[in-house]
Amino acid sequence: MRVLITAGPTREPIDAVRFIGNRSSGRMGIALAEAAVQAGHEVTLLLGLGATASVPRGLPGKCAVYRFESSAELKQLLDSHWRDHDVLLMAAAVADYRPGCVAEGKLKREPNQRLTLTLEPTPDLVAIMAASKRPGQRVVAFALEEAAELKDRAAQKLRSKGVDAVVANPLGTMESDSITPLWLTADGKSESPGRMTKIDFARWLIRKLPGLIGG
C-alpha cells in the first residue's frame, strides 16, 4: 500500500521574518510514518518545517520525506504526490487563516502605533484532496476539537469534507505524547480505543487501513 502522510504545523508569513503558526509538534504524523514503514508500506511523509519532534534515525532512508512551510507549499506537495498514493493521512495542523498580504522585508516597529492584520481563509486542503481522489483512494482527516463537541464536530467534518474516515482528538492532544482518539468512518462505524501513546495509536491506525481500502 502507498501511504501519504502530512505532519506538523504550517507557518503563514506576515513579513520576511514573522509568521502565524501553531503548537503542533508533528509527533503524530511522524509516528504514523514510522508505523507504516514497519508494516511494510511504501510511505511518503510531508513534514512542516516548524515541527519540534525529531524524525527517527533511519526513517528518511525508508520513506521519502519532503518539507513544507506554508499551507500553499503543502498544497503544492499534495498536488504532486497524492495521485501516486492509495491513502492520505492528513495529520498536519494546517492554518485556517493566513495574512491576506505579506509585507516586503521586515515590518518596522513604530512607537505607539497599532498594527492590524487582515486574514483570509486558506484553501481547505482535506476537502480538495478528497474531491480529487480516484476510485480506490482513501482520505483520513484529523480533527482537533473541544471534548464536549468531539463526536458531533468530527461527524460534521466527515460529511462536509467528503473524507472516508476521521480521527478526532480533544484539544489537549497538541504537544502531548499521548492521544485519546475517536475513529469515525463514512459507513457509520465508530471506535474509541482509549488513551494511548501516539506511537501505539499510530500502529493501531495503520492496522485499520487495509480494511478502509477494502471497504
Residue with cell 518545517: 49
112 catalytic? Reply is no
Given 22, 44, 169, 180, which residue is catalytic?
22
**Using a CB cutoff of 8 Å and minimum separation of 24, what contacts does 75-82 make?**
75/123, 75/125, 75/128, 77/46, 78/4, 78/6, 78/46, 78/125, 78/128, 78/129, 81/4, 81/44, 81/46, 82/4, 82/129, 82/132, 82/133, 82/137
Instruction: Using alpha carbons, select from 192, 188, 181 the residue that is nearest to residue 89.
Output: 181
The CA-to-CA distance between both ends of the chain, in Å, stands at: 15
Phi, psi of 54 (to 5 degrees): -90, 145
Query: Which residues are designated catalytic?
Result: 22
